Amino acid sequence: MPDPLSTTLSALADPTRRAILARLAAGEATVTELAEPFAMSLPAVSKHLKVLERAGLIARSRGSSLTAGSGKRASTGWTTI
């Protein structure tokens, strides 16, 4: 299992995932809303979201919305979005 820092940096290495984080920094969004600006399928966007979620950079809120900065990394105080 990779260390937490490597997992986080790997998640941030992709420009699509960074764009998703930037969008979520503005507030909650659904998967469909996050997928709108990208020329990819919803399952492809979902895979990106799973990577971000595993890294602790995003979390699912009530219903199907996602938020940035509420994952385990943010709760430790060393990652700020």
Q: How many domains does the chain have?
A: 1
The pTM for the full model equals: 0.80
Q: Quick one: average pLDDT of 1-18?
A: 93
Residue 48, in any domain of the structure: yes
> Within 13-70, where are the H helices?
15-25, 31-35, 42-54
| Under 8 Å between Cβ of 44 and 80 | no
Q: Would you say residue 81 lies in a domain?
A: no
Does residue 80 lie within any of the structural domains? Answer: no
Residue-range definition of the domain harbouring residue 53: 4-74
CATH code of residue 14: 1.10.10.10
Residue 18 belongs to some domain of the structure: yes
Q: Is residue 40 part of a domain?
A: yes
* DSSP class of 28: -
pLDDT digits 0-9 by tens, 18-77: 999 999 999 999 999 999 999 999 999 999 999 999 999 999 877 778 888 755 544 444
pLDDT for res 20: 96
